[in-house]
């Protein structure tokens, strides 16, 4: 008799707890919004004072590719005061190839660079996150087919 009561209680409490847990978790879509980026090579406004240009160093193919970001002030001078981060993943298999929001390294010439592993042909998304003084000022996503 005790066992039956226990299992009834267990079923009851699981039924209550499970939906609460699901509701408490934020949905991935609501987390952050990425602005769709125009095609590589175009000037994209970052904030009132600066813009950036992004693109692969060479046309991307399977394997390693280098993503490059150049940031300039409105007066045309290179701006290296930002922190650039980002990931690369396949939207159709979200999470399968992502490596987290890795930081771009700044070259001696002031170019932001990051190696990106393109391990499969198909749809890809490269995200770019720009931070200034510890705050995110821009999030963009570049979608392309490999
Ligand atoms: Cu894949």
Please tell me the distance from the alpha carbon of residue 103 to that of residue 64, in angstroms, as a whole number.
Answer: 16
CA of residue 93 to ligand 1 center, whole Å: 6
What is the per-residue pLDDT across 24-41, written as a single tens digit (0 to 9) for each? 444 444 567 899 999 999
What is the per-residue pLDDT across 56-101, written as a single tens digit (0 to 9) for each? 999 999 999 999 999 999 999 999 999 999 999 999 999 999 878 8
Judge if pTM exceeds 0.85. no
CA of residue 56 to ligand 1 center, whole Å: 19
CA of residue 87 to ligand 1 center, whole Å: 14
In the chain, what percentage of residues exceed pLDDT 90?
73
Between the two ends of the chain, the Cα-to-Cα distance in Å is: 62
What is the per-residue pLDDT across 117-129, written as a single tens digit (0 to 9) for each? 999 999 999 999 9
CATH no. of 34-145: 2.60.40.1930
**Ion ligand 1, residues whose Cβ is below 5 A away:** 90, 93, 120
């Amino acid at each position: 008799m005790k066992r039956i009561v226990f299992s009834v209680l267990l079923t009851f409490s699981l039924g209550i707890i499970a939906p609460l847990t699901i509701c408490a978790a934020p949905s991935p879509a609501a987390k952050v919004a990425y602005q769709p980026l125009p095609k590589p090579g175009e000037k994209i406004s970052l904030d009132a004072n600066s813009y950036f240009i992004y693109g692969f160093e060479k046309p991307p193919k399977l394997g390693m590719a280098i993503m490059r970001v150049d940031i300039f002030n409105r007066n045309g001078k290179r701006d290296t005061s930002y922190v650039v981060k980002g990931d690369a993943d396949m939207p159709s298999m979200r999470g399968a190839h992502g490596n987290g929001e890795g930081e771009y390294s700044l070259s001696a010439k002031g170019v932001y660079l990051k190696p990106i592993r393109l391990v499969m042909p198909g749809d890809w998304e490269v995200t770019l996150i720009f931070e200034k003084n510890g705050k995110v000022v821009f999030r963009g996503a570049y979608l392309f087919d490999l």
